[in-house]
Amino acid sequence: MFKNEEMEINLGPQHPSTHGVLRVKLRLDGETITHCRPMIGYLHRGVEKICENQTFFQGQVWTDRMDYCSAVANNLGWAEANEKLFGLQAADLMPPTLVSADPNVIVGYVEEWGRGVLKPTDCMAGRGIHILDPRDPNLHSILDTATLRGQRQVVVQQWIEGVEELGDRRVIVLDGEPIGAVRRVASGGDFRCNMAAGALTRADEVTDRDREICARLAPLLRDNGLHFVGLDVIGDYLTEVNVTSPTGLREIDALSGTQLSDRVVEWIETVVEGSA
């Protein structure tokens, strides 16, 4: 005569500060709770309108505040991971690298190396990159401008031979694992291997050296909540860890016939479902 049916109810929020952020979905057998599932929700702060008046770097800190538990990348780790400097935590993977604001110190290293490459610490897409040659009469002028006459630090790396012919490689890393690569070769008389600077792209594949580099970096990336990044590799050397906008997926898929974009989305869905 009587059917024993379970009931599902939503409990909460109990406090205005958790409205829309946390509710608990309960399954009841009579007065007995048989299942409990916390539901992390969306904290609406008008973030869409707020970000309209912010720069990208100002706006990105709001995304963790919308949903504390489901941001794809940890924004604290994202903000602290300077792309030109992050790899120095495993400095032996990189070419000899100097971080300095002192033009005289930089000149000394460039003379020792024979040639170097200068990079600003806060630019992308090849902006502000210069070849440093001790024979160049413009060397001191370049350094005065780049360092604001000794007031701003820059990154200087030893020139890697062969980059003119072979270019560099973008290696896409998902959850610490290299999943694809594309080669970028400078063109049009430019030395920069950035696609935004007109570099040509060629099909490539993940190498054993890429796997070695990723094995070293994976714990650092995971500790900082950086699950989707792009590595710049020249020869056997790691030169940068790109966390802001690790481009290259479309080029790899087009050149290699892969579906890495689908793989990234599937990984995100798996993580979200696992945390639900």
Give catalytic residue positions: 84, 119, 170, 184, 192, 232, 240, 242
d(CA 98, CA 110): 10
Q: 137 CB contacts (<8 Å, ≥6 apart)? A: none
Q: What is the DSSP letter of 159?
A: P
Single-letter amino acid code for the residue at 174: L
d(CA 85, CA 94): 10
What is the distance of C-alpha 247 from the center of its chain? 9
Partnered with residue 20 across adjacent β-strands are: none
The dihedrals phi and psi of 157, each to the nearest 5 degrees, come to -120, 150
Q: Which two tokens stand for residue 189?
A: 């008389």
Three-class secondary structure of residue 114 per DSSP: coil
Q: Which two tokens stand for residue 119?
A: 């990079």
CB atoms < 10 A from the CB of 236, how many? 13
